[in-house]
Amino acid sequence: MEVSEFNEWLAQNDLLGYWSRNFGGESRGEGGQRRRGPRASFRPFLWKWDTMAKATEMAGELIGAEDAFRRDVAYKHPDIKDARTGGGICHTFSIGVQYVKPGELPPAHRHLFGAMRFVLQGSEAGTVVNGEDFPMEPGDLITTPAQTWHDHYNRSGGPILWLDIVDASISGFFQVQHSELFPKPVQDLLRPVGMAGAEFGGVRPIWAKGGSNGQPPAFRYPWADTRRALELLAEEEGDPYDGITVRFPNPVTGGHTLPTLAAEMGMLRPGETTRAHRHTATVAYHAFRGRGRTIIDDEVFEWSQGDTFIVPLWCAHHHENPHGESAYLFSISDRGALDALGLYEEEPA
């Protein structure tokens, strides 16, 4: 029997030989040893804010509250075609822009995947998580960890927009996704505004124990605090690869923002150029303020305020700010999941 015939026989019996599997690219390392490097199934990509702004505005005109559970326009990478998620910005998490009109009250629900809201524009709005009102201002980050009840409101005279970030692709991979509607359209307010900050801020009560099932409590990270920290740290040397960058920590453990995802905010000072590196985490960047460029595997991506781009895993990348004002890059990565599984690696490029 020839090997090809053997392989065909295995296939007919729902089996597969190890020798037939394609594990991706290989390269020669030091000493002539073979090395298999990680390889993403998707390329770097950038979405311009002008297009997303037009899309959300049109959604606001065409899609009523009765037409959709959430008025959300997702970033859909042309290379991601996973049937479980319908495609997303990458293979492990999804990002979209949610648009809530004045007076709207998207109904309360919960689900077995974590979410975050990074506010882009608007005010006098907020999200209620497990009975606590978290006000929303541009630059704020608010978490709704897995299995937390949440609904939104907008009491202003104009729309509010935020980045919706969910790790549904990960729970979809494990096939554990489920969701549930709250018994009423919106939750009752059970806790005063700022209670989570009082419980898990810089000082905290000795009885505070945090979330459950490994999930952190819902939390709000105000932009005013984030910006002040970045400006105070601006005199420091910073990280050679990411400049002046702060993380949004789990308020109980100090670890990643959610068990699966890490959120950070970086400031690139005028004229700053970082060193190139690569890692097994995939990172999505949103240019919150300013402009600059990121070089990913020798391809230049010019970005300005509102643009969003993806750096796939193991792509060499660095940032440059040739302009006279600081630029702020908000980022989301799947490093939480990779660290938990012992799969994170990083090296200079």
pLDDT, tens digit (0-9, with 9 covering 90-100), for 81-96: 865 555 689 999 999 9
Give the CATH H-level superfamily of domain 45-348.
Jelly Rolls (2.60.120.10)
Instruction: Please check whether residue 231 is in contact with residue 241, taking contact to mean a CB–CB distance below 8 angstroms.
Output: no
Place of tokens 């000493």: 31
pLDDT score, position 28:
42
Token reading at 2: 């020839």
- 3-state SS assignment for residue 79: coil
Which helix H or strand E contains 227, and what residues bound it? Answer: helix 223-233
Average pLDDT over residues 298-320: 98
**Cα–Cα distance measured from residue 85 to residue 170, given in angstroms and rounded to the nearest whole number:** 10
pLDDT score, position 66:
80
Alpha-carbon separation of residue 316 from 274, 301, 348 (angstroms): 12, 13, 8
Q: Is the pLDDT of residue 26 over 50?
A: no
Average pLDDT over residues 117-136: 96
CA-nearest of 116, 159, 121, 114 to 137 is 121
**Cα–Cα distance measured from residue 130 to residue 175, given in angstroms and rounded to the nearest whole number:** 25
Query: How far is Cα of residue 65 from the mean position of the Cα atoms in its chain?
Result: 25
Give the DSSP per-residue string, 277-346.
Answer: EEESS-EEEEEEES-EEEEETTEEEEE-TT-EEEE-TT--EEEE--SSS-EEEEEEESHHHHHHHT---E
pLDDT score, position 187:
92
Average pLDDT over residues 29-33: 49
Which helix H or strand E contains 49, and what residues bound it? Answer: helix 49-62
pLDDT score, position 135:
97
Using one digit for the tens of pLDDT, what is the confidence trace for 259-275?
A: 999 999 999 999 999 99
pLDDT mean across residues, the chain: 92
pLDDT score, position 201:
85
Higher pLDDT, 138 or 174: 138
pTM of the complete model: 0.90
Structural domain spans, the chain = 45-348
**Cα–Cα distance measured from residue 152 to residue 341, given in angstroms and rounded to the nearest whole number:** 33
Token reading at 109: 């629900």
Buried b / exposed e along 139-164 (16+ C-beta atoms within 10 A): bbbbbbbbbbbbbbbbebeebbbbbb
pLDDT score, position 33:
52
pLDDT score, position 34:
59
pLDDT score, position 58:
95
Q: Is the pLDDT of residue 10 over 50?
A: yes
Using one digit for the tens of pLDDT, what is the confidence trace for 329-347?
A: 999 999 999 999 999 999 9
CA-nearest of 199, 253, 194, 239 to 331 is 239
